[in-house]
Structure 1
């Protein structure tokens, strides 16, 4: 009977042990990775938090959220704090000459979302005051948002954080109401923007409905109705809050009646985050 020489047996055994060791190391490394949802917050001045007050924002639920600062500190993540996106001004998404970001709905959104999903969120600021949908499509806003989203993914990979799911939150419409954008135009343009963001990896757009103009209640109505309709017609959009339509107390707005104060932003964020979280629990992609 032919026998395998002892030295060959030893080599075979050592090779097998090396393979097992490599598999074990790989499994260990995989276990050290964390999973988080990546959410980019897009829109105009009420998403930026022009009427907010960081001191009146809720305390962040421990472990629930982080901010990726694409402009001021792109190499790491920060525990989410208000004012969210305070100095994240760059390129087409630069609010420097338009408004001050004082406090947002993002912390309340993340708290409520995490309460439903138990998955931490990495939040990315991508809003600009007075921005219309046409501006988002033609003036470089969507490209800047996409660049920030990609940079966030790269940073998360470096930090050994697995991107579990990717979403966008959209809170906008005043500019299009002022421009008298028609309902059909608004729906088509929003669908185009969401389609572009889907190409960047966004799975769904969570939409917060525009609220009324307190001085002229009919002024925003066509855009408000268009937002409801597009969420019914387009499976890529999910309506997560109609609360702004109910917040008609002037004390919840700034002196101009345009920007929501922090009390209102907290309510809107909590409502949208809870509904988005419930949607994700029921429909979110399992990975």
Structure 2
């Protein structure tokens, strides 16, 4: 294992090749704050064997660990982290965000579980491209979030080199529930968004971590049903886990919720969601 890790990290930082070669899978992670990562503490800050995170601002591959992600402005330049003293209007200035407060994202736990479970035990390039408080409309091809998502993913693909499998992982929908978006509208838009990325990046699957509850009323279930139906009706969509709903509603899982932010998962919760979802993707191969 140590030899394999050394070889992989040598590939990641190769000055001659500038990327990874061999059997590598690329996974894009997008959505809103629960994908960005908004927890109460840091967990998972040890590099994951065989996994790298692509950083757009430096065009580099770095060991995958928490915190991850980048604060990138709409023009592709470096921004500032959410909550940075002396700053304001983060949501209005950033296209993509890093893990809030430098804490925890599910991305490292997902990639670790996927790599261990997938039969080909691939190396992984992770692309963190999420932003809190965004509706699905923000990510649509004709909207403001899509261009930076595409730019970062395209750059990651170029940096990685030869890629075996390509995936998009989606955790989003709370803001659409708050806005009262109906099932059919969300379902139609998510299909359009997913197939646009499939055509652009030759994605193998579009994995969904089904949203939990935020409004705590029927509006949440419009989004939940839309995600359920897409995964039942279209093989391109893959339901990775439905556990988020239990985390939000059952007393025995309350430790998986962030006590400091309603509707957000704790560090332990994102660890568990990442583990469940990454295992499911690996088992689907």
TM-score (norm: length of structure 1): 0.78
Aligned to 1:89: 72
1:218 and 1:134 map into 2 onto residues whose CA distance is 20
Contact preservation (8 Å) 2:45, 2:65: no
Aligned to 1:48: 36
1:33 and 1:180 map into 2 onto residues whose CA distance is 45
Contact preservation (8 Å) 1:165, 1:203: yes
Dislocated runs of 4+, deviation >6 Å? 92-95
> Deviation of residue 143 (structure 1)?
2.1
Q: Gaps (5+ residues) in structure 2?
A: 1-16, 83-89, 92-99
Contact preservation (8 Å) 2:241, 2:280: yes
Aligned to 1:69: 55
1:279 and 1:58 map into 2 onto residues whose CA distance is 27
Contact preservation (8 Å) 2:25, 2:166: yes
Equivalent residues, number? 240
Contact preservation (8 Å) 1:60, 1:111: no
Distance 1:52-1:125 versus aligned 2 partners, 3 A rule: farther
Question: What CA deviation, in whole Å up to 9, does each residue of 1:22-41 have, x standing for no partner?
Answer: xxxxxxx9xx9422101110
1:200 and 1:53 map into 2 onto residues whose CA distance is 36
Aligned to 1:150: 154
2:72 and 2:243 map into 1 onto residues whose CA distance is 28
- Say which of 112, 118, 123 aligns to 1:120: 123
Question: What CA deviation, in whole Å up to 9, does each residue of 1:210-249 have, x standing for no partner?
Answer: 0123x62434111111111111112221001111011134
| Secondary structure, counterpart of 1:37 in structure 2 | strand
2:262 and 2:199 map into 1 onto residues whose CA distance is 36
Aligned to 2:25: 37
Distance 1:91-1:254 versus aligned 2 partners, 3 A rule: farther
Aligned to 2:220: 220
Question: What CA deviation, in whole Å up to 9, does each residue of 1:252-271 have, x standing for no partner?
Answer: 22333221110000000000
The answer to whether residue 272 in structure 2 is matched with residue 271 in structure 1 is no
> Deviation of residue 92 (structure 1)?
8.2
- Of the structure 1 ranges 44-53 and 95-104, higher mean CA displacement relative to structure 2 is found in 95-104
Rg (Cα) greater in structure: 1
Contact preservation (8 Å) 1:48, 1:101: no
